[in-house]
A and B are shown apart, each in its own frame.
Chain A
């Protein structure tokens, strides 16, 4: 990474609005997640800078900063000249280590706040679902809880964990809560895999999910809400614990 290539962008960034930092982080996370989840393939060329910035709704200055951070992390390489551009480069290190790199981008304060937001969404969703759910509506949640109890690899566990909470929001019959939950899941990305790789904790989560479903089915809204919140808080607390070891 040569200085002249980024110097201008970095200097301009100094004098851009402070909010830019959050936008850079958001772009880094988004693209980093997409690479981590395999949505962008190794060696794939990213769109041109102005096009990509337009698609993401950020300035080219913000995008360049984000690309610089992704290059430092080895997730993107840039080739100059004809046929040049930015390319996805999956580093040759275990997925777990890459996820820890991603976790390192979060401060413990941000993780705590993420846990609060998630608990608020899932707790509210569980309470409403308990009021509004008939037996037939619970089948997706039961299926997800069953699949989570069987899933062997950490990536699948992470996806099922997220799906459970999206389905819980849908069971609340709230499009807004569901959209918020989907947005939160895309921000969290694969991070929950870090704590779900451990079988004992996976069992605990699957059990909590089953108890949430049972409380929703019984129409016990306060119990369902408290259980859903505790489930999310516990995961966030474990992520914080992992973050503190980095």
Chain B
């Protein structure tokens, strides 16, 4: 919608470099999610080989890996596996979720998932759950206010976990937006023009442009389409460069 692409829109070399490096800020997060997915898949296969359904206690085997990754990567504030309802034999729904606090202590997230008591028991409609389930691919959800787990403005990276061809849940990790901003702001500020990053809906994820602050919407261009084509474009004087390996667009005034 209104995005021009082609030779006239060729991004400058520094802009391309920044667009290629933004994804690197989330590198540790992608690794955490991939490792959690691998461990969960292996665990669920082992249980299936024993000819039984998994129970919540089985997921405790994920804890050493989750704790180690939370302790190692400062940018990761929460990590775990979220089971699809009906996966476990002993619980209708389950989050094996751990968070590192400001004091560095890793704690479990304990949610009330009883629909008779909690209005927040159904987590299957959140983007971080629905996107990987529906696309079968890694997703980056947000920025959004995560009132379920952390009450922080966050990005959540998630990957689907499957066993025997069936969706079992998602492996995921949270990044608080302030930590993401700290990681990418030096890149944005290195550009000669005011720059910011938006997601597929135009929501600003980080910004070095006081006119476009995190959480606001940059309206006009169809950023989703731009990410699909993965080619730079222009819109109304803005230069739009899709980032590599992460569904964000670099917008330069």
Contacts and interface: CB of A to CB of B under 8 A. Distances in A.
Contact of A182 (B117, B118, B151): B151
B26 to A, nearest CB: 20
Given A39-B112, A139-B125, A175 B118 contact: no
A136 B125 contact: no
Contacts of B116: 38
A132 B151 contact: no
B202 A39 contact: no
A174 interface: yes
Contact of A178 (B147, B216, B217): B147
Contacts of A173: 143-145, 153, 203, 215-216
Contacts of B202: 134
A134 B203 contact: yes
B17 interface: no
B120 A175 contact: no
Interface in B103-121: 112, 116-120
Given A39-B112, A139-B125, A169-B145, A163 B119 contact: yes
Interface residues of A, number: 26
A178 B151 contact: yes
Contacts of A167: 147
B119 A175 contact: no
A76 interface: no
B152 interface: yes
A132 B119 contact: no
Nearest to B214: A173
A132 B125 contact: no
B125 A140 contact: yes
B81 to A, nearest CB: 23
A166 interface: yes
Contact of A170 (B117, B125, B145): B145
A54 B14 CA distance: 55
B152 A132 contact: no
B201 interface: yes
Task: Classify chain B: how many residues form its interface, as a range.
Answer: 20 to 34
Contacts of B143: 173
A189 interface: no
Interface string A108-138: 0000000000000000000000011110110
A32 interface: no
A209 B75 CA distance: 37
Nearest to B117: A38
B117 A175 contact: no
Contacts of B151: 175, 178-179, 182
A162 interface: yes
Interface in A167-226: 167, 169-170, 173-175, 178-179, 182
Nearest to A147: B119
A181 B153 CA distance: 15
Interface of A: 37-39, 131-134, 136-137, 139-140, 143, 159-160, 162-163, 166-167, 169-170, 173-175, 178-179, 182
Given A39-B117, A134-B203, A140-B125, 18 more contacts: A132-B203, A132-B216, A132-B217, A134-B201, A137-B201, A159-B119, A160-B119, A169-B147, A170-B147, A173-B144, A173-B145, A173-B153, A174-B145, A175-B145, A175-B153, A178-B145, A182-B147, A182-B151
27 contacts: A37-B117, A38-B116, A38-B117, A39-B112, A39-B117, A132-B203, A132-B215, A132-B216, A133-B217, A134-B201, A134-B202, A136-B201, A137-B201, A139-B125, A140-B125, A159-B118, A162-B119, A163-B119, A169-B147, A173-B153, A173-B215, A174-B145, A174-B215, A175-B145, A178-B145, A178-B151, A179-B151
**CB-CB nearest 3 A-B residue pairs:** A173-B215, A159-B119, A170-B145
